[in-house]
Chain A
Amino acid sequence: MSLLRAATALALLTAAFALMWVSFGFLRDSDANRMLVVAVALLVGVGGVFFLFAATNRAVDWLPERYREGVRPYVFVGPCLVILSMFLVYPVINTILLSFKDADSVDFVGLQNYSFVFSDDSMLRAIRNTAGWIVFVPLVAVSIGLVFAGLADRLRRGEAIAKSMIFLPMAISFAGAAITWRLIYAFRPEEFGTNIGLLNGIMLGLSREPADWLGIQPWNNLLLMVIMVWMQTGFAMVVLSAAIKSIPSTIIEAARIDGASEMQVFRWVIIPSIVPTIVVVATYMIINAMKVFDIVFVIGNAEANGTEVIAERMLDWFFISDHRGRGAAIAVVLFVAVIPVMIWNTRRFREQEASR
């Protein structure tokens, strides 16, 4: 009897997977109507996972009773672990391995890829530029965010709207932002038409010569960093603003009664109380800046303009120049750089759990 039940359970599962597989076959069919393909994709993608969970759970119900509750947790947690090990853990190990192999991942080449990473001119520029990104972007974004949070806090009206305008660029893509700012930096040499870029418009208004902003090395790097500052300041501002508002008002009042000016209150009371938050915000911005890719990639001509960054080089070597070993080695450099944060995260988590 229990054997029959187990067989039914297995059949049900197989049927569920087969059904999914047929619909994926349809999605592959590129001649089908686009609307229909998208509709099927949405149906399968949205409903499919839950359907599989429900089917597997039902299959477990039909197992012999003494196994049932021992197996069920793994049904719940299993898909998560399988996907994580297949798409994150295995790849991390694999990438480390590939970084010691040649362009086509056939022969081991020892540390050759790494010596390339730390000697090639373009790579060295990329490392230098990325170092610039991880200093400039967090520093400027956190500073502006902090000042703005402090200012907006004192508005009589319109605090919410002012803040949401600063936060708005967080909603758009790096690609969209890059295009937005290309329009600001746009340049046309003489006899190639009017200069329609805002920055050159201002230059002309001041009767100065228009400039090819994105071609001026090394300052063009700074102009690209400004794009990320524009996008991320809102994040810093919102988090810091929440931290400022959670400072007990008695502390601030006490400082004022002692005769501190508003500037002094901000510098000597507010900022010291939110240092932990500033550290956290800056850390995550550093990680983001370290992996910056889209802005440089969409602005384009990174190598000619000397604006390479590490993540952009990784894609270039792996996808465009077709050298897997070098691409992997560059990825490993990024990975090694975040390992301290990884350790810090897990340590803090264990402390939290222990105190729970």
Chain B
Amino acid sequence: MSVTQPTPEIAVPRADTLATEAPGARRGGWLVRIAVLVIVLAWLVPTVGVLITSFRPESAVDTSGWWSVFARPFDTAQWTFDNYRLALDTGGFGNAFLNSLAVAIPSTVIPITIAAFAAYAFSWMDFRGRYAMFVAVVALLVVPLQMALIPILRLYTQGGIVAGRWIIPDFDLGGTFLGVWLAHTAFGLPLATYLLRNYIGSLPRSIVESAKMDGADHFTIFWRLIIPLSVPALAAFAIFQFLWVWNDLLVAYIFLGGSSQNEVLTVALRNLVGARGENWHLLSSAAFISMSLPLIVFFSLQRYFVSGLTAGSVKG
């Protein structure tokens, strides 16, 4: 995880990302342990509060703070699944969950595929302007996506006009999945290309050369050799991009906000706050539905998760 350079290398996941012992590190006493415990508890309180609230009946949520469950935690009457039933069904969060999947999975796979092909070309193929093009990709890394929102939305609703001429036809992509996929692809592409090119470019030249000697063409080398070797980098970026898209509100709000059919979780959450900001039984369960998948990813793929998010922190 060398982020000591401003342009970070992809951090290849290591087993010891979260826990290693520096040789000779001195062990701390109880003071250190208490300090760590206090910080950890403080960090957990907000999430625990939402989790507990989401399982309490509406009447209880409304009349007492969530911490009052600790008075008698085993009283089953104070726990319920009704909030989740309500949120998933009438609240529309079941639908929104499906939509979030339909947005996030392609928005992860498409940029990775395109970036992997480009990264291979940048590393192992000869063509004019290769270096200049890649420098341009690096420059695009930190462009704030706010710069792109207005023109892309215009592109979707009226096509592209430069100097009075139509250069891009109007595809009417506002409110469609394809429109969001393309937007997320574009916003994720510089980072994906950059990280994958650094990784693929650092694979030993001899592997590619010997495959060429055996008569393999570029497509075969790419698909059969380079992709399997690049799994750690691909996985790290995939997790970063998936969570980024899953958690994104801005892009979804702009490009899907007008369509209640295709509403994703974050947009649905925001609308729920706007409409019923004091219905905590519904808000908390809805919030937890939206957090469920990221938390599962977090706990099951922690190694890739940490390296992915760390490598992805440079995204513009």
* Interface, chain A (partner B; CB < 8 A): 24, 27-28, 30, 34-35, 37-38, 41-42, 44-46, 48-50, 53-54, 57, 70, 72-74, 76-77, 79-81, 83-84, 86-92, 94-95, 98, 144, 148, 151-156, 159-160, 162-184, 186, 188, 193-198, 201, 230, 233, 235, 238-239, 242-245, 247, 249, 252-253, 256, 262, 276-277, 280-281, 283-284, 287-288, 291, 293-294, 297-298, 300, 311, 314-315, 318-319, 324, 327-328, 330-332, 334-335, 338, 341-342, 344-346, 348-350, 352-353
A77-B133, A165-B40 are known contacts. Are A92 and B127 too (CB-CB below 8 A)?
no
A94 and B28 within 8 A (CB): no
Q: Which residue of B lies closest to A249 (CB)?
A: B24
**CB pairs A–B below 8 angstroms (28 shown):** A24-B178, A45-B107, A72-B125, A72-B218, A74-B127, A77-B117, A80-B137, A86-B168, A91-B147, A144-B39, A172-B47, A173-B266, A173-B294, A175-B247, A176-B269, A180-B287, A184-B46, A235-B309, A238-B1, A239-B310, A262-B28, A280-B4, A294-B250, A324-B150, A331-B144, A335-B144, A338-B144, A345-B6
Stretch at the interface among B62-70, B71-79, B83-91, B228-236: B62-70
A171-B297, A284-B313 are known contacts. Are A314 and B3 too (CB-CB below 8 A)?
no
The CA-CA distance from A350 to B107 in the complex, in Å, is 30
Which positions 80-132 of chain B face chain A at CB distance < 8 Å? 95, 98-99, 101-102, 105-107, 109-110, 113-115, 117-118, 120-122, 125-127, 130-131
Partner of B61, one of A196, A230, A281, A319: A196
Using C-beta atoms within 8 Å of the partner chain, give the interface range for chain B.
Answer: 35 or more
**7 additional contacts, CB 8 Å, given A238-B18, A280-B4?**
A42-B105, A57-B219, A76-B125, A148-B36, A162-B36, A175-B269, A342-B139
B302 interface residue per 8 A CB criterion: yes
A87 and B266 within 8 A (CB): no
B18 and A163 within 8 A (CB): yes
B102 and A183 within 8 A (CB): no
A166 and B309 within 8 A (CB): no
B213 interface residue per 8 A CB criterion: no
B316 and A287 within 8 A (CB): yes
A73 and B249 within 8 A (CB): no
Interface centre among A94, A156, A249, A294 (most CB of B within 10 A): A94
Residues of A within 8 A of B131 (CB): 353
Which positions 220-277 of chain B face chain A at CB distance < 8 Å? 222, 243, 246-250, 253-254, 259, 261, 265-266, 269-270, 273-274, 277
Partner of A280, one of B3, B53, B265: B3
A87-B183, A198-B49 are known contacts. Are A154 and B27 too (CB-CB below 8 A)?
yes
A300 and B114 within 8 A (CB): no
B208 interface residue per 8 A CB criterion: no
Interface centre among A50, A79, A91 (most CB of B within 10 A): A91
B121 and A76 within 8 A (CB): yes
B3 and A239 within 8 A (CB): yes
A238 and B310 within 8 A (CB): yes
The CA-CA distance from A293 to B251 in the complex, in Å, is 11
How many Å from the CB of A89 to the closest CB on chain B?
8
The CA-CA distance from A79 to B118 in the complex, in Å, is 8
Partner of B43, one of A194, A230, A244: A230
B169 interface residue per 8 A CB criterion: no
* Interface, chain B (partner A; CB < 8 A): 1, 3-8, 17-20, 22-28, 32-33, 35-36, 39-40, 43-47, 49-50, 53, 61-67, 95, 98-99, 101-102, 105-107, 109-110, 113-115, 117-118, 120-122, 125-127, 130-131, 133, 135-144, 146-152, 154-155, 160, 168, 176-178, 181-183, 185-187, 189-190, 193, 218-219, 222, 243, 246-250, 253-254, 259, 261, 265-266, 269-270, 273-274, 277-278, 280, 283-284, 287, 290-291, 294-295, 297-298, 302, 305-306, 309-310, 313-314, 316
Residues of B within 8 A of A48 (CB): 110
Partner of B7, one of A86, A148, A162, A352: A352
Residues of A within 8 A of B53 (CB): 183
A45 and B22 within 8 A (CB): no
Residues of B within 8 A of A252 (CB): 22, 24-25
A179 and B269 within 8 A (CB): yes
A352 and B5 within 8 A (CB): yes
The CA-CA distance from A318 to B62 in the complex, in Å, is 37
The CA-CA distance from A92 to B316 in the complex, in Å, is 13
B36 and A151 within 8 A (CB): yes
Q: Which residue of A lies closest to B190 (CB)?
A: A84
Interface centre among A24, A98, A174, A238 (most CB of B within 10 A): A238
Residues of B within 8 A of A342 (CB): 139, 141-143
B101 and A38 within 8 A (CB): yes
Partner of B25, one of A50, A154, A330: A154
A334 and B40 within 8 A (CB): no
B247 and A172 within 8 A (CB): yes
Partner of A155, one of B28, B66, B160, B297: B28
B284 and A87 within 8 A (CB): no
B273 and A345 within 8 A (CB): no
Residues of B within 8 A of A94 (CB): 150-151, 154
A46 and B109 within 8 A (CB): yes
Interface centre among A196, A198, A314 (most CB of B within 10 A): A196
Interface centre among A45, A293, A334 (most CB of B within 10 A): A45
Residues of A within 8 A of B62 (CB): 193-194, 196
The CA-CA distance from A166 to B147 in the complex, in Å, is 32
The CA-CA distance from A159 to B3 in the complex, in Å, is 21
B105 and A172 within 8 A (CB): no
Interface centre among A332, A335, A345 (most CB of B within 10 A): A345
B98 and A73 within 8 A (CB): no
